[in-house]
């Protein structure tokens, strides 16, 4: 193919969005099909949905959040009437450009969630917008999981998995969606709705869609009549292949509905809407041994794959030298990576089982195999979880390193090809030579070697014509190599999209592409459903609509727009996600390059609320992000820019006088409550709303009818004599009292009491007022105020703890984390002090130190716990659950729980943020009452109580009540200091990464590909 360059300039991308957004007539008409508030059409809304995880970008004319199948049917009819194309969008993690539209983009994730486990986990019924990891959490108690296992499982949806026929490192072909989908409900563009499992479904399908049903049989005959094609289909689908439609459906089935339902797998939303799925689940294999085998060269590594696969390895991940080099200096990976020879290559191998008794036998098999291999480093398999984590850190850190190291302005291109596994060794060598020949010497090859499915990462600019021409030449050569030399697949698992659409015929030949075109015509006669994806007449389709990557703030510039961060963000359903905040920011920069365009002004206006005010700056996104971006930092940077020197200096003054501010805050809360009690809640709401209107919704909190009462001015009396730890009550617990009224026990009273009962006395410093973890300043971007407060507090902590001799217990988890991570705000001497302090969160302290010394005599039936973001970050969720279990017979930690978005005071500033963030958790708990609702952060508890409608409080209260009858033990007993220090170390351990859901199986987290 020759490639006159079709598109590349930044200007081409700035002209595709209109400052008015969606035309009024289109909004109005769509508002007649779905509720008007679910039609998004402002420029900012179009821009934020224009990108998926691919390196393409299409600007939709309108975005619609569909809620029901009837609405989707209405949208199909509307699209046909107005001849506007329509594309479905779930989580938008697709890599080949198939989740984008320049017509109507119909979002089918938000309102399409739900999991119903059937037959003791043998089957699971799932709504298409459900995040796949969420399904696995529901299946976990049954020892089952979904077959498909894409690395993006914590972010992508089940509908996306089926539509792309996504797979991963273990599932291979046998357990992909094509082979594990028991039935599905689909809606055709004609409006015909079919549940394939319903009695008489095949007959009704034939009656309602006679042309489609008959046409499928005709196509089947055409395929069967071509012996060469039939043979190729049989051979090629023994391996992963997502190029074009799944032609194996024509060979594997002979009844039209069965053929069609299998064709829907991998159809990338081009044939029908998938409204519900039922999967046959597969056994989870939680026990495993892992080995990192390092070979002298990539060819030798490739040759070892077949013997390992035949011996039963459940995962074999190849990593070339460039992959391993990219991570060799990362913490947590084996040290020997640094000294490996230049051409070395690794295989990361798992043997997994559901039965721990089988592990020893697997170890023997693996040891025999390894003995026959020529390895650079002695290879051995281990069941040790820490070592396994080290090995998988190599694979998991790959994308991070490549993404982080890319030059600004360049894109990361992630490709996905399959070779016959028997010829993998030669294929990798050829692939590497191709990189060099086309000017990509830093290309990184890795992937699911067990299935011959390789990924490679290239970084290059898509901003300049010459660069696009280079990419075009590379793609032609790649197609020649994969198809011409190996008869492999140009897409193994990421879907054809726009990226490989021009090459489908090259891979499959003229007869096959004719069958595919006819299939598309039969199901979608108007050609309006995701046009340009899979079937595309344009030989340059893969070079059009390329996404430019302008340089933005360094805190977010590395973003590869993968979408991993979206499910964990509390504002995702209210305004924007972290990815969207970055995508919009990139569009602003594109616009700025042209000038002060009307679009730029419109984006800036809406970004203030959509991007900035409603970010909780909780940093949840960083934990899910493969390149470790905390979008909250980007937001804080913008907030800081909004401050004048005068407001900065006022913020420092507030910090300096914080002891007075605390006192005034208690008075204000008391006055507010009195006013509300006297004149009604509406009076306080009206007053604060008025103040918000004349000041700022981002600075002036709205009065909350559930505002807790003020704390007593006096903290519990403690003594430094014999104290084993310093207790630093967070300012929020010094200002707010318990929800139960004046006589109720305060959190400091409760913690001091159980510490006494456990004979681990605490001391609260007399001058604790005025010190704080700095979050109120930090979250609003007051840099000087943050620095002043943190330096002051660390100095006080240093003194109170007797220069670090005593540990310090903090009773709000977010404050503990805030203090631990405050180093970059500190002066050198205070950074040293911070390092010398032992900071214990109340969860660690109570779980590790007090609990073994307490006797629970009053147990509850069940409790619900909510682990706040900082507890996730500290890896202490299990301890919170254990503390719940210490006081109750049953503990529920809802799988739908996430960050509450309260974030210090944001929940008061923007109550709608907390309401939106906790919507799903509230629904999960609505019909599931518990005896107590426990957490570990006061402000989050306020938000939870308000939205969930249950009285949340610290777990400390529950433990204090459960141990009231306890006689103090005779002595403290030996080893207490050791226990405290161990607890501190555990609390400091780096957080588990990889999104809200912790998943079974290998290397859950930031894997890619």
Ligand X SMILES: Cc1cc2nc3c(=O)[nH]c(=O)nc-3n(C[C@H](O)[C@H](O)[C@H](O)COP(=O)(O)OP(=O)(O)OC[C@H]3O[C@@H](n4cnc5c(N)ncnc54)[C@H](O)[C@@H]3O)c2cc1C
Our CB check for ligand X shows the closer of 129 and 911 to be 129
| DSSP structure class, residue 767 | T
Our CB check for ligand SF4 shows the closer of 618 and 841 to be 618
> Binders of ligand X: how many residues, by CB under 6 A?
39
321, 267 Cβ separation under 8 angstroms: no
- The helix/strand/coil state of 280 is strand
Question: Nearest Cα to 147, choosing from 471, 493, 425?
Answer: 493
Q: Segment near ligand SF4 (CB under 6 A), from 373-381, 422-430, 621-629, 802-810?
A: 621-629
For 468-506, letters b (16+ CB in 10 Å) and e give bbbbbbbbbebbebbbeebebbbbbbbbbbbbbbbbbbb
Our CB check for ligand SF4 shows the closer of 790 and 869 to be 869
How distant, in Å, are the alpha carbons of 214, 821, 844, 872 from that of 851?
A: 70, 27, 10, 21
Give which of ligand SF4, ligand X, none residue 156 binds (C-beta under 5 to 8 Å, depending on kind): ligand X
Our CB check for ligand SF4 shows the closer of 89 and 288 to be 89
d(CA 829, CA 369): 55
> What is the full DSSP assignment across 523-543?
H-TT--BSTTSS--S-TTGGG
Judged on CB neighbours under 10 Å (0-12, 13-18, 19+), 552 is middle
- Smallest gap from Cβ 476 to ligand X, in A, equals 24
What x-and-dash track marks residues 937-976 binding ligand X by CB under 6 A? ----------------------------------------
167, 135 Cβ separation under 8 angstroms: no
Largest CA distance in the chain: 92
Our CB check for ligand SF4 shows the closer of 130 and 914 to be 914
Q: If binding is defined by CB under 6 A, does position 64 make contact with ligand X?
A: no
Q: Segment near ligand SF4 (CB under 6 A), from 80-88, 169-177, 564-572, 945-953?
A: 564-572
d(CA 898, CA 567): 9
Backbone angles phi, psi at 514, to 5 degrees: -65, -40
Q: Segment near ligand SF4 (CB under 6 A), from 137-145, 156-164, 481-489, 617-625?
A: 617-625
d(CA 450, CA 169): 8
Q: Which residues pair with 145 in a beta bridge?
A: 282
Can you give 776-809 as a three-state secondary structure string? Answer: HHHCCCCHHHHHHHHHHHHHHHHHHCCCCCCCEE
Our CB check for ligand SF4 shows the closer of 617 and 816 to be 617
- Smallest gap from Cβ 501 to ligand SF4, in A, equals 24
Q: From the list 76, 392, 564, 607, which residue makes contact with ligand SF4 (rule: CB under 6 A)?
A: 564
Q: If binding is defined by CB under 6 A, does position 1009 make contact with ligand X?
A: yes
The residues in 465-524 that bind ligand X, with binding defined as CB under 6 A, are 493-495
What x-and-dash track marks residues 239-268 binding ligand SF4 by CB under 6 A? ------------------------------
Q: If binding is defined by CB under 6 A, does position 565 make contact with ligand SF4?
A: yes
- Smallest gap from Cβ 53 to ligand X, in A, equals 4
- Smallest gap from Cβ 971 to ligand X, in A, equals 55
For the beta sheet containing 104-107, the strands, ordered from the edge strand earlier in sequence to the opposite edge, are 39-40, 62-65, 104-107, 86-89
Q: If binding is defined by CB under 6 A, does position 559 make contact with ligand SF4?
A: yes
φ/ψ bin of 150: left (φ > 0), alpha (ψ from -120 to 50), beta (otherwise):
beta
Our CB check for ligand X shows the closer of 72 and 735 to be 72
Q: From the list 571, 733, 745, 914, which residue makes contact with ligand SF4 (rule: CB under 6 A)?
A: 571
Our CB check for ligand X shows the closer of 125 and 734 to be 125
Residue 513 host element (H or E): helix 510-523
Q: If binding is defined by CB under 6 A, does position 563 make contact with ligand SF4?
A: yes
Q: Segment near ligand SF4 (CB under 6 A), from 25-33, 133-141, 164-172, 570-578?
A: 570-578
Our CB check for ligand SF4 shows the closer of 616 and 834 to be 616
> Binders of ligand SF4: how many residues, by CB under 6 A?
29
Our CB check for ligand X shows the closer of 350 and 811 to be 350
- Residue number of the CB atom closest to ligand X: 160
- Smallest gap from Cβ 130 to ligand X, in A, equals 10
| DSSP structure class, residue 867 | -
Q: From the list 257, 482, 541, 625, which residue makes contact with ligand SF4 (rule: CB under 6 A)?
A: 625
d(CA 182, CA 1006): 30
Q: If binding is defined by CB under 6 A, does position 619 make contact with ligand SF4?
A: yes
Q: If binding is defined by CB under 6 A, does position 79 make contact with ligand X?
A: no
What x-and-dash track marks residues 149-178 binding ligand X by CB under 6 A? -xxx---xx-xxx-xx-xxx----------
Give which of ligand SF4, ligand X, none residue 30 binds (C-beta under 5 to 8 Å, depending on kind): none
Give which of ligand X, ligand SF4, none residue 98 binds (C-beta under 5 to 8 Å, depending on kind): ligand X
Q: From the list 578, 748, 884, 987, which residue makes contact with ligand SF4 (rule: CB under 6 A)?
A: 578
Four-point Cα dihedral 572, 578, 584, 586, nearest 10: -170
Q: If binding is defined by CB under 6 A, does position 579 make contact with ligand SF4?
A: yes
Q: Segment near ligand SF4 (CB under 6 A), from 118-126, 331-339, 470-478, 560-568?
A: 560-568
φ/ψ bin of 1005: left (φ > 0), alpha (ψ from -120 to 50), beta (otherwise):
left
Q: If binding is defined by CB under 6 A, does position 569 make contact with ligand SF4?
A: yes
Find all residues with CB under 8 Å of 709, minimum gap 6, and list them: 669, 670, 673, 736, 737, 738, 739, 741, 742
CA 242 to chain centre: 24
Question: Nearest Cα to 431, choosing from 482, 383, 384, 472?
Answer: 482
Q: If binding is defined by CB under 6 A, does position 570 make contact with ligand SF4?
A: yes
Q: If binding is defined by CB under 6 A, does position 94 make contact with ligand X?
A: yes
d(CA 519, CA 856): 67
Residue 813 host element (H or E): helix 813-820
Our CB check for ligand X shows the closer of 501 and 891 to be 501
d(CA 163, CA 95): 13
Q: If binding is defined by CB under 6 A, does position 547 make contact with ligand X?
A: no
> What is the full DSSP assignment across 623-653?
HH-TT---HHHHHHHHHHHT--HHHHHHHHH
Six-digit token pair at 238? 């023994």
Q: From the list 21, 269, 302, 570, which residue makes contact with ligand X (rule: CB under 6 A)?
A: 269
Q: Segment near ligand SF4 (CB under 6 A), from 269-277, 377-385, 483-491, 553-561?
A: 553-561
Helix axes 938-948, 919-926, angle to 10 degrees: 60
- Smallest gap from Cβ 150 to ligand X, in A, equals 3
Our CB check for ligand X shows the closer of 150 and 291 to be 150
Q: Which residues pair with 863 in a beta bridge?
A: 891, 932
Our CB check for ligand SF4 shows the closer of 131 and 635 to be 635
Q: If binding is defined by CB under 6 A, does position 560 make contact with ligand SF4?
A: yes
Q: Segment near ligand X (CB under 6 A), from 27-35, 83-91, 867-875, 976-984?
A: 83-91
Our CB check for ligand SF4 shows the closer of 255 and 821 to be 821
d(CA 746, CA 738): 5
Six-digit token pair at 235? 């051979």
How distant, in Å, are the alpha carbons of 219, 654, 662, 737 from that of 522?
A: 10, 69, 70, 67
Give which of ligand SF4, ligand X, none residue 618 binds (C-beta under 5 to 8 Å, depending on kind): ligand SF4
Give the binding site for ligand X (CB under 6 A): 52-53, 87-95, 98-99, 108, 128, 150-152, 156-157, 159-161, 163-164, 166-168, 268-269, 273-274, 493-495, 530, 562, 1008-1009
Give the binding site for ligand SF4 (CB under 6 A): 559-565, 568-571, 578-579, 581-582, 615-621, 624-625, 627, 629, 631-632, 635
């Amino acid at each position: 193919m020759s490639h006159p360059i079709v598109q590349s300039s930044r200007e081409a991308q700035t002209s595709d969005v209109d400052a008015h957004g969606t035309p009024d007539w289109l909004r109005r008409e769509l508002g007649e099909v779905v509720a008007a508030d679910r039609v998004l059409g402002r420029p900012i809304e179009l821009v934020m949905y224009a990108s998926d995880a691919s390196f393409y970008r299409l600007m939709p004319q309108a975005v619609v959040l569909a809620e029901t199948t009837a609405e989707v049917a209405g949208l199909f009819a509307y699209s046909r009437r107005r001849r506007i194309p329509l594309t479905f969008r779930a989580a938008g993690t697709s890599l080949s450009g198939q989740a984008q539209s320049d017509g109507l983009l119909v979002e089918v994730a938000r309102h399409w969630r739900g999991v119903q486990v059937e037959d003791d986990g043998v089957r699971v019924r799932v709504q298409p917008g459900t995040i796949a990891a969420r399904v696995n959490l529901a299946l976990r108690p049954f020892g089952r999981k979904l077959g498909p296992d894409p690395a993006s499982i914590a972010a992508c949806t089940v509908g996306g998995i089926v539509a792309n026929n996504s797979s991963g490192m273990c599932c291979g072909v046998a357990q992909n969606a094509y082979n594990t989908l028991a039935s599905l409900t689909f809606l055709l563009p004609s409006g015909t709705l079919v549940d394939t499992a319903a009695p008489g479904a095949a007959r009704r399908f034939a009656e309602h869609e006679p042309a489609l049903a008959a046409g499928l049989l005709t196509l089947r005959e055409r395929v069967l009549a071509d012996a060469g094609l039939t043979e190729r289909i049989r051979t090629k689908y023994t391996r992963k292949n997502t190029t074009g439609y799944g032609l194996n459906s024509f060979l594997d089935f002979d009844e039209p509905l069965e053929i069609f339902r299998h064709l829907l797998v991998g159809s990338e939303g081009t044939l029908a809407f998938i409204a519900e799925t039922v999967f046959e689940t597969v056994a989870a294999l939680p026990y495993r041994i892992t080995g990192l085998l390092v070979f002298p060269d990539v060819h030798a590594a490739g040759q070892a794959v077949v013997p390992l696969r035949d011996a039963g390895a459940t995962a074999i991940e190849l990593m070339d030298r460039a992959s391993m080099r990219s991570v060799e200096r990362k913490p947590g990976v084996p040290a020997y990576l640094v000294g490996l020879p230049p051409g070395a290559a690794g295989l990361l191998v798992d043997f997994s089982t559901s039965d721990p008794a089988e592990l020893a036998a697997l170890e023997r098999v693996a040891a025999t195999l390894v003995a026959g291999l020529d390895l650079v480093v002695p290879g051995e398999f281990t069941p040790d979880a820490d070592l396994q984590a080290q090995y998988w850190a190599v694979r998991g850190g790959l994308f991070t390193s490549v993404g982080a190291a890319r030059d600004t302005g360049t894109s990361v291109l992630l490709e996905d090809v399959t070779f016959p596994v028997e010829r993998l060794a030669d294929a990798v060598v050829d692939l590497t030579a191709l990189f060099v020949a086309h000017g990509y010497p830093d290309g990184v090859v890795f992937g699911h070697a067990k299935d011959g499915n390789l990924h490679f990462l290239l970084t290059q600019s898509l901003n300049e014509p010459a660069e696009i021409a280079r990419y075009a030449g590379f793609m032609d050569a790649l197609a020649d190599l994969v198809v011409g030399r190996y008869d492999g697949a140009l897409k193994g698992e990421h879907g054809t999209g726009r990226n490989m659409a021009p090459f489908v015929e090259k891979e499959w030949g003229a007869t096959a592409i004719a069958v595919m075109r006819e299939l598309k015509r039969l199901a979608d006669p108007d050609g309006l459903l995701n046009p340009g994806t899979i079937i595309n007449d344009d030989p340059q389709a893969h070079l059009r609509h390329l996404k430019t990557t302008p340089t933005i703030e360094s805190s977010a510039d590395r973003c590869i727009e993968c979408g991993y961060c979206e499910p964990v963000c509390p504002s995702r359903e209210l305004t924007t996600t972290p990815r969207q905040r970055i995508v919009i920011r990139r569009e602003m920069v594109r616009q700025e390059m042209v000038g002060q365009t009307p679009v730029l002004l419109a984006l800036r206006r809406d970004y203030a609320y959509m991007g900035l005010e409603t970010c909780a700056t909780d940093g949840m996104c960083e934990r899910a992000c493969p390149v470790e971006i905390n979008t909250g930092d980007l937001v804080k940077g913008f907030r800081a820019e909004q401050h004048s020197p005068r407001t900065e200096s006022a913020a420092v003054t507030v910090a300096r006088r914080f002891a007075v501010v605390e006192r005034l805050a208690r008075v204000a809360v008391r006055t507010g409550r009195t006013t509300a009690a006297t004149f009604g809640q509406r009076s306080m709401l009206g007053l604060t709303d008025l103040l918000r209107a004349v000041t700022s919704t981002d600075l002036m909190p709205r009065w909350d009818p559930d505002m807790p009462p003020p704390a007593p001015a006096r903290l519990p009396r403690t003594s430094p004599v014999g104290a084993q730890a310093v207790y630093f009550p967070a300012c929020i617990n010094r200002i707010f009292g318990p929800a139960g009224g004046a006589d109720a026990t305060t959190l400091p009273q409760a913690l001091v009491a159980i510490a006494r009962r456990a004979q681990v006395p605490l001391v609260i410093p007399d001058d604790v007022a005025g010190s704080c973890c700095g979050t109120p300043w930090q979250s609003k971007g007051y840099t000087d105020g943050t620095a002043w407060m943190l330096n002051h507090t660390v100095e006080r902590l240093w003194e109170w703890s007797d220069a670090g001799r005593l540990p310090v217990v903090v009773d709000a988890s977010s404050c503990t984390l805030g203090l631990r991570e405050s180093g970059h705000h500190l002066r050198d001497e205070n950074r040293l002090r911070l390092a010398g302090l032992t900071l214990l969160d109340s969860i660690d302290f109570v779980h590790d130190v007090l609990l073994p010394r307490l006797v629970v005599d009053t147990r509850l039936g069940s409790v619900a716990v909510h682990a706040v973001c900082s507890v996730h970050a500290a890896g202490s969720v299990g301890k919170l659950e254990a503390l719940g279990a210490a006081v109750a017979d049953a503990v529920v930690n809802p799988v739908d729980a996430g960050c509450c978005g309260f974030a210090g005071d944001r929940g008061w500033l923007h109550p709608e943020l907390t309401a939106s963030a906790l919507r799903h958790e509230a629904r999960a708990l609505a019909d599931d009452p518990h005896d107590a609702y426990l957490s570990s952060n006061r402000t989050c508890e306020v938000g939870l109580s308000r939205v969930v409608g249950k009285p949340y409080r610290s777990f400390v209260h529950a433990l204090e009540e459960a141990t009231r009858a306890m006689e103090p033990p005779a002595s403290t007993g030996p080893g207490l200091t050791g226990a405290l220090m161990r607890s501190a170390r555990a609390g400091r351990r780096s957080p588990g990464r990889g999104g809200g859901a912790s998943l079974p199986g290998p290397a859950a987290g930031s894997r890619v590909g």
